[in-house]
Amino acid sequence: MSAPLAIRRMDYTSAELRALSGRCRDGAQVRRLLALALVLEGRSRTEAAALNGMDRQTLRDWVQRYNDLGVEGLTSRSSPGRAPALSEHQMAELRELVINGPDPEIHKVVRWRCVDLKAEVARRFSVEVHESTIARWLHELDLTRLQPRPVHPKKDVEAEAAFKKTSPTWSDRRSPRTRSAGR
């Protein structure tokens, strides 16, 4: 069995480590600081580790990090996570694609839906993702999945206005407020 790893860094006393732990927001870092404070007070590693809910070997690892990096070495690190599926350039291209809208002759759709964008991303960038990922990307790009209703290319605005003026269902229609106020 090898000799226990000693705390070489003497920047703080036991009381100062306890005071630092009171100002910490990271609960795991607080436990580590308190365990080190107990060791500096002369308690055994096994007892200090058990009082702070960790194994003796774990406490040894934290002592090593404290010796190398100080109090900052006791903070919890977050993992960098998975690399993004699309690069920034590809995301910019996706944004332009959504803003410009689909070409009905090429894409065979009149408006983008997540399922359509999923297929287009797979075709352009060779990246297979779920529809919910497309929705999240749209949100990150400050775009919405809600689209205005498509307009037929042969729509006649004047004929529609004339129909609304002469149709009994359109000309007699009143708003719900008007109906309830008249009663």
- The tens digit of pLDDT for each residue in 102-121 reads 998 988 888 889 999 999 99
Residue 114 · residue 135 · CB < 8 Å: yes
Number of compact structural domains in the chain: 2
What local confidence, expressed as pLDDT, does residue 47 receive? 93
Low-confidence ranges of the chain (pLDDT < 50): none
Structural domain boundaries, residue 111: 88-140
Q: b/e string for 139-175 if b means 16 or more Cβ within 10 A?
A: eeeebeeeeeeeeeeeeeeeeeeeeeeeeeeeeeeee
What is the DSSP secondary structure assignment for residue 72, as one 8-state letter?
G
The answer to whether 103 touches 90, Cβ cutoff 8 Å, is no
Q: Is 18 inside any structural domain?
A: yes
Is 101 among the domain residues? yes
Residue 83 lies in a domain: no
> Are residues 18 and 65 part of one domain?
yes
Contacts of 151 (CB under 8 A, 6+ apart): none
Kindly state whether residues 68 and 19 are assigned to the same domain: yes
What pLDDT is recorded for position 171? Answer: 54
State residue 160's pLDDT score: 86
Same structural domain for residues 20 and 66? yes
